[in-house]
Structure 1
C-alpha cells in the first residue's frame, strides 16, 4: 500500500513540475493587485475612511477586530473597531450617521484594559444583576445593542449607550 502511494505521489509531482515550467507559471502580480490583508464590509470601509481612518490604523491582534450592531438604538448598523489613531490605541465606535466616538475609560465607563474577548450583547437579551456593582445601581435598560468586554479569569464589563454617551455596567470581577 505504501508503495502504491509513493508511485502515485511521484507521478503527481512529475506532472505538476512539468506543467509549471518557467514559461507556464503565472506572472507575479504587482503589489497594487494583491488581495488586501483585511476585509471590511463596504459600508464600514466608507464610514471609516469618511472619519479619516485607513486600513493601516486597524489593530488585528484581537479577533474579531471589529463588531457590528445597533449600538445607539436608531435601527441602523454601527461598528466598533480596535484601532490605533495618532498616539492613541483603543476602541472606536463608528455610527451609521458617520459620527464616531472613542471608548475612553473614565468614572462612568470602565472595562478590562487588556481585553481577551468581546462580543455584542443584543438589546433583547436580559442583563443580570451584577455582584460586582453597587446594589443601589439599577440593572440597565438597553436602548441598543451593548458590548461585553471580557478578560479571561478576571473580569467583564457591559458597555452600552445611555442616550448621550457610552457607560458601563460591571459584570464580574
Structure 2
C-alpha cells in the first residue's frame, strides 16, 4: 500500500515561530534542506552535512525508520527530542498511520505523530558521552531545530491484528542550528583566503613570471598567509620574494622562491630537501614566516646550519616546523621540531 501525503495536512496550529522560518541560513545560524530524498526496504539512509560534518541518518527499525543526527563520533544529537516515552516524532513507523485494529487509516484513535515531524538537537552534546535529561521539561528548547515532512510512503503488514510497517519513504527535511566553532573557523579561513587572494595582484603575477614561474604548470595560491614573504635569502643585499603555489595538474602544494627578481626556484614539489623534508610535508603546512638571525638547534640532534641570509620557517599549527634556507647553490631544509 502506498500513501501520498499532502503538505497542507501537516500544518499544525501549534507550530512555533522557530519552525515556521524559511530553511535558509541567517545571521549566526546555518541551515540545510534535503529535498525529495528516498529510502526503501531494509536499508538505512545516510547523508553527510557539509560544514559541521554531521550525518543525517534514517536508521532502519522493525516498523520503519528512526531519525538520527550523528556527530563525527557517532553520537546522536537528537536524543533529547520529547516525548521520551511513547511515540516520538523521530520514529517514522507504519502503524502511526493506521487505526488501532489496523483496518484503515489513523483517524485519531492512535495517538502518534503524523506527516510533519519536529525534532530538536544540540551540538553541545558532542563529547558528553550521550547526556540524557531526567524529564521532558525544556528538552525541546534546543539550539538545533529539525522538521521532516513525509511526501510519500509505502506500508506493509496491513492485515487486521498486525502492526503496520513502513517499507518506503520519500521525505524532505530542514535543519537549522547555531554555527559551530568548526564552521566559524572555516568561514574565517575563507574570508582570510579571499583577502589574501586579492593580494595576488597582476603586478605580483608579472614579477613572479619574470622570475621564471611557469604559469602553464603552476599557480600562485594563498593557502598560506601572507601571500608573499620578502627578505634577503642569499645575503647579497637584494630583495628576494617567496609565494605559495600549487601545481595545476593535481593541486600539489609548494613554494616559489625568487632571488633579486631574476632567479626563481620551485621547492616542495619533488625530491627530498635536507635530511628529512619530503614533498608530502608541504601539503599539510598552514603557516609560514620569515626567519632572521641564526638557526636554532633542531630536533634531530644535527648541528644547525650557518645561514647565509634570511630563511623561511614553515609548519603546521601544533606540530613540527622546518627552516628552508639558501646554501649558496640551492635551497635545503633543517628540521626545527615542534
What's the TM-score, normalizing by structure 1?
0.64
State the match for 1:129 in structure 2: 297
Structure 2 matches for 1:36-51, cutoff 5 A? 37-40=198-201, 42=203, 44-50=204-210, 51=212
1:118 to 284, 288, 293: 288
Distance 1:100 1:52 in 2: 7
Q: CA deviation at 1:107?
A: 4.8
Structure 1 runs of 4+ with >3 Å offset:
39-42
Distance 1:67 1:107 in 2: 20
Q: CA deviation at 1:142?
A: 0.9
User: What SS does structure 1 have at the residue aligned with 2:328?
Assistant: coil
Is the CA contact 1:118–1:150 (under 8 Å) kept in the aligned structure 2?
A: yes
Unaligned runs of 5+ in 1: 1-35
Q: CA deviation at 1:60?
A: 1.6
State the match for 1:62 in structure 2: 224
Distance 1:147 1:107 in 2: 14
What's the TM-score, normalizing by structure 2?
0.35
Distance 1:52 1:138 in 2: 33
Distance 1:38 1:164 in 2: 30
User: What SS does structure 2 have at the residue aligned with 1:72?
Assistant: coil
The count of residues paired between Structure 1 and Structure 2 equals 131
Unaligned runs of 5+ in 2: 1-196
Q: Pick closer, same or farther for the CA change 1:168–1:53 going to 2, 3 Å.
A: same
Distance 1:59 1:83 in 2: 5
State the match for 1:83 in structure 2: 245
The CA deviation string for residues 59-85 of structure 1, in whole angstroms up to 9 with x for no partner, is 123211221111122111111111124
Is the CA contact 1:47–1:96 (under 8 Å) kept in the aligned structure 2?
A: no
Q: Pick closer, same or farther for the CA change 1:116–1:89 going to 2, 3 Å.
A: closer
**In angstroms, what is the RMSD of aligned CA positions?**
2.6
Distance 2:312 2:273 in 1: 18
Is the CA contact 2:314–2:322 (under 8 Å) kept in the aligned structure 1?
A: yes
1:139 to 292, 298, 304: 304
Q: Which has the higher strand share?
A: 2
Bigger-Rg structure (1/2): 2
Distance 1:84 1:172 in 2: 25
